[in-house]
Amino acid sequence: MDLLDTLTDKGLRGEVPTREEALAVLATTDDELLDVVAAAGKVRRRWFGRRVKLNYLVNLKSGLCPEDCSYCSQRLGSKAEILKYTWLKPDQAAEAAKAGVAGGAKRVCLVASGRGPTDRDIDRVTDTMAAIREADPAVELCVCLGLLSDNQAERLKAAGADAYNHNLNTSEATYGDITTTHTYADRVDTVQKAHGAGLSACSGLIAGMGESDEDLVDVVFALRELGSDSVPVNFLIPFEGTPLAQEWHLSPQRCLRILAMVRFVNPDTEVRIAGGRELHLRTLQPLGLHIANSIFLGDYLTSEGQAGHADLDMIRDAGFEVEGAGEATLPRHRSDVAAAGSSCGTAASACGSGGGCGPCGGHSSEAPAEAAAEALSEAPSESHSDQVKVRRRGAGTELAPNA
């Protein structure tokens, strides 16, 4: 049985591939690309049908962050000309959220820049969630406020939050290369705090920061082991004025291979195409829907996405449908685990080769990773900096949001 047959068979059973198999997905050629998409698509349809979950971002506080994350336009010392504003009032945030829900978004993601929230910040977000829920009691609320202190996750859960987002971003081995003001362990701790409080864990990665295939596979397996219910896959947006402004390593084909690898490792988990899809997938965005079952509608935190109606047209034209408010996103067996606030060692975090909280298997042969890295190094790194559009509408402005 060849690689794709093996991966499809495992994915349809909800099993996880080996690291060697995951690395081999990233090493496939462009001639094999449609076969890779088709195989990942079978797994996606097995667990999620043809539904696409829409999520909508509201940036509650933009810019002026004290952390030095190299990829971020809001970082300490960033010269990116982004919007900068302090906390939105609850009614302002609720108005922004209303636009996303009206456009079909099922989940509203409330994000604020900074190292982590103070207790006063938790109060602010609690008031904001109440204002949003007053307008739409059924909307899902995901909160992203940075590193959590003890008992803050419990307070957010009690206030009505459904999920907490905190991305691992890259592998533990290379985390220190992109951030020095906090550690990979700090991020893992926050995801565990959120999950332990009964919040659905939303945690993902950023591809395109110069990482190796081994790094990508490491972080994706780490997310699986943490029990992340939703895995956002971001493709680096190289903002001018940030240390990674010249990192243009991604092609549409590379992005699809990364998405497929994430799907095979997380067959029954929500896989979301997040920031950078318009910039890097470009005209191949519809193919991404055959792998991922979730996207953001409209704009991102500090950059603009394609028009909201174009997202909806793309979903319809590709033969998919927007997931309704009354539909469960995760398969039943995953929904039950998520509702119980599971942690490492459950079905949500088992690796498929014995489970448990430790590393999932050993490092496999590096040959596939080396082959892919060599192919990548030979590809020209073409800059598209003129296509990075800084957000100038929606939350924090007087202009209507893109939804």
| Residue 95 exposed, middle or buried by CB count within 10 Å (0-12, 13-18, 19+) | middle
Q: Which of 51, 72, 187, 224 is catalytic?
A: 72
CA end-to-end span of the chain: 45
Active site residue 272: yes
Closest of 299, 65, 321 to residue 181, by C-alpha: 65
Q: At what angle do helices 252-265 and 19-26 cross, to 10 degrees?
A: 160
Cβ atoms 102, 312 nearer than 8 A = no
Task: Answer whether 146's CB lies under 8 Å from 110's CB.
Answer: no
> Phi and psi (nearest 5°) for 72?
-100, 130
Asked if 360 is an active-site residue, the reply is no
- Counting Cα atoms < 13 Å in the Cβ hemisphere of 242 gives 26
Cross-strand partners of 230: 202, 270
Instruction: Tell whether the torsion through CA atoms of 247, 248, 254 and 260 is positive or negative.
Output: positive
Place of tokens 């402004």: 245
Q: Give the span between the Cα atoms of 358 and 344, in whole angstroms.
A: 9
Catalytic member of 19, 44, 69, 255: 69
DSSP state at residue 30: G
Residue 112 parent element (H or E): strand 107-112
Of 142, 255, 351, 360, the active-site residue reads 142
Active site residue 142: yes
The beta strand positions in 114-236, using DSSP E, are: 140-144, 163-165, 200-202, 205-207, 230-235
| Residue of 19, 44, 51, 65 with catalytic role | 65
Hey, how many other C-beta atoms are within 10 angstroms of the C-beta on 324?
10
Query: By the 8 A CB rule, do 305 and 298 touch?
Result: yes
Residue 255 falls in the annotated catalytic set: no
* Spatial contact of 337 and 347, defined as CB atoms under 8 Å apart: yes
- Asked about 357 being catalytic, the answer comes back as no
User: Which one of 144, 202, 255, 360 is the catalytic residue?
Assistant: 202
Cβ pair 125, 145 in contact under 8 A:
yes
Q: Which of 19, 107, 109, 334 is catalytic?
A: 109
Catalytic residues: 65, 69, 72, 109, 142, 202, 272
